[in-house]
Amino acid sequence: MAPTIVTSKQFHHYSVELGWPVQFENGHCYLPTNAGMVGLVLPVALASEVSAEFTRRGMFVPTLKSPERQKRWIFLADTPTSVPPDIPGWTELISGPQRILLPGGPGLARWIREPTREHQRAPGYALAVSAIRSVLRRSAVGV
């Protein structure tokens, strides 16, 4: 199967319409996590509960599923302005010099909650972590 290549329309959507600092490499778009956003990664079983908690709190959180992290969802959040608090149990933080593969075609990452012009901004890191902690406390999996 031939690799899926991101089109100029997709790159334009991320970089111009959303204003994200995407990188384009080998036909794919990536979001660098040292340029304003980080990824909070959770197993699917917890991620759906966390997504519902974000909705209850009136938060729109761009969320994607990446083939690099199977059976996990990645929630995008603004980069912490200070030293980030400890991340909750069951959560992986994608930050620093790493990057997140953005959706661009079949077989690649796909959006669970796709950002739009109206919802292009990710929530603050502390707000996102607070919602995750709330779900973990209720489900008694770990804080």
Q: Which residues contact 124 (CB under 8 A, 6 or more apart)?
A: 77, 78
Contact 105, 50 (CB under 8 A): no
d(CA 73, CA 127): 18
Which of 81-85, 88-92, 134-138 shows the highest mean pLDDT?
134-138
Give residue 1's pLDDT.
40
Give residue 71's pLDDT.
86
Domain range list for the chain: 35-98+105-139
Residue that wins the pLDDT comparison between 84 and 79? 79
* C-alpha pair distances (Å), 46 with each of 15, 49, 61, 81: 30, 5, 15, 26
The model's pTM: 0.86
Lookup: tokens for 115: 């950002």
Helices 125-139, 44-56: crossing angle, 10 deg rounding: 120
pLDDT tens across 1-39, in order?
A: 444 455 677 888 888 889 999 988 887 888 999 888 999
Residue 90's CB is within 10 A of a number of other CB atoms, namely 19
Q: What is the mean pLDDT of residues 48-74?
A: 91
d(CA 79, CA 126): 9
Q: 10-19, 105-114, 117-126 — which is least confidently predicted?
A: 105-114
- For the chain, give the percent of residues with pLDDT over 90: 38
